[in-house]
A and B are shown apart, each in its own frame.
Chain A
């Protein structure tokens, strides 16, 4: 072996090793490390948002199931209102931080965090604690307050909502992770995973005028998130979606994770003490085949920490 050959071989070996590490674990070992197929839904109880997230994620087979090296990721929390975390009006910042961090650790090229806020976006990003938490974990926290950032998209199979304007990062990113908060909602009953997608839409208020439930169910077919992580840590049980005071909030220390938004919404609704059957958009989405609200028919992994 001469020197040139040696260098050539070394480069080949290095390239092979690099390629090997870039492949997600699932591609090499089948499904999950322990060989089982991952559960349809994971429910975790009794710990901090970050620890419950870690437990649920490992039950799902780890972040490598969802994020690969070099991909762009959008993490979409609910950052609707200019309220502090104790009021439960937005996704828990610690959860957002943990989600972003896991994506960064998985080698994501860029992790974006944004929401089309209801209140003033700069104030809301700040007050919610999400801007600081996400930045700390390495996310790019960007605005969704300018119509210029939205692009026209078709909604496949939409009954009422046939086309709309979606934030281009949400439309174009490789991975889309939905991180809603479970809370009471004066118009729709509860806001969870499907309803949270209104935050990537520009003119979502027209949904109210044309039929809120149908629009939520229609839009669920546009881009199913690669993963839904429902924050049920502090749950606003009344006066939602904004909340009036801490008295509206109950500490439930729960987290729901699923690739299926409908199942995640159904399970979360039960956490909130409601019947998913009472929430029209869940029924509509189930009927459209977006996912299943029949929790008895799916494989659920329940974890109490």
Chain B
């Protein structure tokens, strides 16, 4: 496991840029279109943790598009190992092209294996981590309870900013179970960064509270 989290090989570098410019950016910027509020609050460099509500696979792609292009090789979405490492092809694509940090959602945490080790290594290499603390995409345009992993990570690295982001519209575009995206403009609201503290529950409450508050900043049409 002598994986160097900070630097990626030239092949991965090329693939990641090609994927971003040929697919992700056209889909996100032209097919969907972003209305971004408080863009200036986004981190300009790593290490940083971006935390967002999760409704669609496209969430990750939108967050990747928001960050400066130069950071692309150092953007690392935290993603469920059981889903994204399910078969060798998807595993190769997820780890090499997207650059995910796989975590085991349940069961797989034996005492000696630290589920946050990959994320910790990435932060130490000045990477930007993308995290969805709901742990699942859930029902479209609804927010589930946050899991505590992000609180542990933030406490371990109290100097790393945790930037809350609220995403709206992607659950309509590509909800769980759908295969063809339907274009909708996406609202992105970036919140003020916060930092880790000793009390995990207090941190989680503050973080989810801030994302809910961002939710209130934008007008959202009814979706029945």
Q: Do A and B come from one complex?
A: no
Interface residues of B (CB under 8 A from A): none
